[in-house]
Structure formats: C-alpha cells, structure tokens
Amino acid sequence: MNNQVFQQVLNALAERRRQNEKEEARRRDEAVARCPEIGEIMEARRNAVMASVYSAFSAPAEENLAGKVEEWNGRIRQLLCRNGFAADYLDPVFTCPLCGDTGYTGSGKKELCSCARGLYASLMDKESSFEDEQTFERFDLSRFPDDKPVDRKGRTQRGQMAVFRDYCRSFADALPHPAKKTLLFYGGSGLGKTYLLRCIHARAQERDIPALCITANQLIRTARKSVFSREQEDMDALYETDLLLIDDLGTEPMIEGVTVEELFNILNERQNAGLCTVISTNLTLENLQVRYNERFISRLLNRQTCQSLHFDGIDIRQL
Ligand SMILES: [Zn+2]
C-alpha cells in the first residue's frame, strides 16, 4: 500500500461523510419546516435519550426507553409519509451502505471495504498514468521486464504483453465485429490491464465506434441511482453502446439485488445483441466464481464468445 495514496482515500471518505451529514441536516430542516411536529418529536426523543445517559448511574433508567424511541420513530415515519416524504427520508445518508462511509466493514476484525479499495485503485491508476493519452502508438513495451519467463508458455512479461497488445489492437481494429466479442483481462494490479483497456477505447473512438469506458464502481453507482430515480437513460447507454469497457470489476460495492443482477443483465443482453464488452479485474478466476453467481461466470468465460487474457508478472509501478 502506498501511504500517501491511502491517506487520500481516507480524506475522500471523510469528505463523503461531511457531505452526507450536510445532506442529513438539510433534510431535517426541510422536513421540520413542512411539519413542525416532526421537530417536536425529535426534540423529545433527544431529551429522553440524554436524560437516560445522565441518570444511568444515579437513578433507575427511564422505563422502556427503547420502546418509546421505537414509538417516536414510527410516528416520525408516519408524519414523513403524510407530508410527501419517503418514510426513510431522515435515515442516515450513506454513499456506501456496506461500510457507512467509514471505509471498513466487519465488527471484530476490520476489513477494508470494497469502496475504499476501489478508491485506492483508481487513485493509483491516476498516479501511474503519466501519459494523459493511452494509445497503442504510445504503448511502451520496454517498461515491462524481459528477464525471465512468467507464464506457462515460457514468455517473459514483455513477450506476453507484446502478444496481448497485438491481440487487443486487432480486436479494436475489427470493431464492431471482432471474432470474439467479449474480452476478459485478469491478473494482479500494475500489469497493464487498464492501460490496454484504454488503448482499445482510444482506437474505437478514433474509428468512430460508439464506446463507453466505466469502472465497475461507477457502473454500480449509476445502476443504483437509476433504480431510485427511475431514470433509465444512463443505464440504457451501457446496454446499447457498441463497445462497453468495464474497468476494475470486483472493486464495486456488493449491493443486494443490484450488483450481481445488473452485471449479469448487462453482459447477457449485450452478448445476445452481438455487442462487444471488455472487462478487466484484479480477481483470480476462483475469486470471480466466489463473488458472482454461476450464470454470470458462465457468460463471462464462455469459450465460444469470450477471450480471456491472463496477465502475469510483477507490478511495473514498483520498478
Ligand atoms: Zn464502503
């Protein structure tokens, strides 16, 4: 882990929480302005909780405080609905419901949340992409070590990258009808997967092939937003564009009923429509199987329609 970049992740999370707290306060003011009774109940609730904290050591605590709070909460929900708000309008606002924007999940042994890992990866990418334009022309093979074999075919990292680059270039030149329409890049970070993804994107744009490049994290956020707002436009574009490039599969938050379902639907419908999709991931095939469901994996690894490239070697950002 790069400490400086990790600090940026923590700063971004802190900023997220500040923004969300601001939004919570704004909602509170809005709701109380429309229905003052909500404000009165919140006040009563706060006083009761505070009183029980102060009296905990001296006097017997308020009888059944939890029940009372529950009752107040129910009443607030009722009033919210009656005044045209959603019942959960005053619930805490989280960008990532998995970790509540703390960046960590789990209670005992804390683990870095997938949202924090996603932030970290995309910041690392920015850090390492010193060329602003990532194209096949600028692709520099000499950055990859050529000293020892890294894969089963006995290729060095540079030799492997030369093959992958040529394959991706032919793929991009054959758009919108390459032999295999789904590409999967998998392997550790810093091996050039994102770079090649962007080269394909750049070549497609050069050739006026409609193409969209998105991280899996952005994709799931877009999906979630469209569920809430019922606006399908952004999602439709992901279903319909000739070429869709999804970077960093596996760093998106796992939202029940959204993540796995949406990813499967996109891949499935695109394949049925004969559209091209390129996906990169740091996960191993085994981890992909564990994280996603069987239907998605069998779509992704179907040998007839799908080419997977296994990136081997060492992180060139650490050289
Ligand atoms: Zn999170």
For the residues 211-234, what does the mean pLDDT come to? 86
Q: What does the pLDDT read at residue 131?
A: 47
CA 100 to ligand 1 center in whole angstroms: 6
Say whether both 139 and 236 belong to one domain: yes
Q: What does the pLDDT read at residue 318?
A: 67
Which of 301, 309, 282, 314 lies closest to 163, judged by CA? 309
Domain annotation covers residue 283: yes
CA 114 to ligand 1 center in whole angstroms: 6
Q: What does the pLDDT read at residue 216?
A: 93
Say whether both 78 and 209 belong to one domain: no
How does residue 132 score in pLDDT terms, banded at 50, 70 and 90?
Answer: low
CA 184 to ligand 1 center in whole angstroms: 25
Which of 306, 41, 312 lies closest to 163, judged by CA? 312
CA 147 to ligand 1 center in whole angstroms: 40
CA 173 to ligand 1 center in whole angstroms: 38
First to last CA, the chain: 15
Say whether both 147 and 280 belong to one domain: yes
For the residues 134-156, what does the mean pLDDT come to? 90
CA 213 to ligand 1 center in whole angstroms: 23
CA 3 to ligand 1 center in whole angstroms: 19
State yes or no: pLDDT of 275 exceeds 90.
Answer: yes
User: In which order are the strands placed within the sheet that holds 211-215?
Assistant: 211-215, 243-249, 276-281, 182-187, 306-311
**Domain termination residue (choose one: 113, 147, 177):** 113
pLDDT tens digits along 17-56: 988 999 999 999 999 999 999 999 999 999 888 887 777 6
What Rg, from alpha-carbon coordinates, does the chain have? Answer: 25
CA 138 to ligand 1 center in whole angstroms: 35
E-assigned strands of the chain?
Answer: 104-105, 111-112, 182-187, 211-215, 243-249, 276-281, 306-311
CA 195 to ligand 1 center in whole angstroms: 26
Q: How many CA atoms lie within 13 A of 253 on its CB side?
A: 25
Sign of CA dihedral 247, 8, 311, 141: positive
pLDDT tens digits along 184-216: 999 988 899 999 999 999 999 999 999 999 999
Say whether both 218 and 247 belong to one domain: yes
**H or E, element range at 27:** helix 3-34
The domain in which residue 147 lies consists of: 129-318
pTM exceeds cut of 0.75: no
Q: Please tell me the total count of domains within the chain.
A: 2
Whichever domain contains 195, its CATH number is 3.40.50.300
Q: What does the pLDDT read at residue 129?
A: 56
Say whether both 82 and 164 belong to one domain: no
Strand partners, 308: 184
CA 112 to ligand 1 center in whole angstroms: 8
Domain annotation covers residue 121: no
Q: What does the pLDDT read at residue 38?
A: 96
Domain annotation covers residue 57: yes
Domain annotation covers residue 124: no
